[in-house]
């Protein structure tokens, strides 16, 4: 069964499910996997940091600094071992040119924030497909930990 992860969402599962997220532009998809237990999680973050949101009841799944630790906690609660979890990330594209203004390059800022969050949690990144200027769809297979990246301009490939 496919579990669909929307924007500002995450899902955790085991085989035989496949976890999928569509339309990663400047957003970043974070795939976490424990090969011993075959517990997998996929997060689709939209923004780097919850600290400046100004929202009283924020959606913690929207931000790299809150979504990744929350998803990891759920995986550990289901039996995953944090010390055995690895990450693969994709997305963070520059979808719109902002005439040399880096402040608006949210894709790059998202990638930096995701990498920082994973480093803080001591989760190694073993595969990535980030940046450039095209959208991506991710498929995470908990049975094997395999991640497929699909894009209109680059076709399909393993991450």
Query: Which whole number is the average pLDDT over 17-39?
Result: 97
- Does residue 144 surpass a pLDDT of 80? yes
Query: Which whole number is the average pLDDT over 135-155?
Result: 96
Give the bridge partners for 136, in sequence order: 24
> What's residue 54's pLDDT?
60
pLDDT tens for 67-92 read: 999 999 999 999 999 999 999 999 99
**For the chain, how many residues are written?**
159
b/e map of 13-36 (b: 16 or more CB within 10 Å)? beeebbbbbbebbbbbbbbbbbee
b/e map of 91-121 (b: 16 or more CB within 10 Å)? bbbbeeeeeeeeeebbbbbbbbbbbebbeee
Residue 57's pLDDT band (boundaries 50, 70, 90)?
Answer: confident
What span, in angstroms and rounded, lies between the C-alpha atoms of 61 and 36?
26
Q: What is the largest CA-CA distance in the chain?
A: 47
Centroid of chain to Cα 51: 19
Residue 56's pLDDT band (boundaries 50, 70, 90)?
Answer: low
* pTM of the full structure: 0.93
Looking at residue 83, the DSSP 8-state letter turns out to be: G
Looking up tokens 């769809």 gives 137
pLDDT tens for 24-34 read: 999 999 999 99
């Amino acid at each position: 069964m496919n579990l669909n992860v929307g924007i500002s969402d995450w899902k955790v599962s085991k085989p035989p499910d496949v976890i999928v997220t569509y339309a990663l532009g400047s957003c970043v998809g974070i795939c976490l996997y424990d090969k011993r237990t075959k517990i997998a999680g996929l997060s689709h973050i939209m923004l780097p940091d919850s600290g400046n949101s100004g929202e009283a009841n924020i959606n913690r799944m929207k931000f790299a600094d809150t979504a990744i630790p929350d998803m990891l906690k759920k995986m550990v609660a289901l039996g995953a071992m944090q010390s055995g979890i690895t990450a693969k990330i994709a997305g963070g594209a520059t979808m719109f040119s902002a005439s040399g203004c880096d402040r608006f390059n949210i894709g790059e800022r998202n990638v930096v924030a995701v990498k920082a969050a994973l480093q803080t949690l001591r989760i190694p990144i073993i595969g990535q497909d980030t940046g450039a200027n095209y959208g991506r769809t991710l498929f995470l297979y908990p049975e094997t930990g395999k991640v497929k990246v699909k894009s209109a301009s680059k076709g399909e490939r393993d991450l």
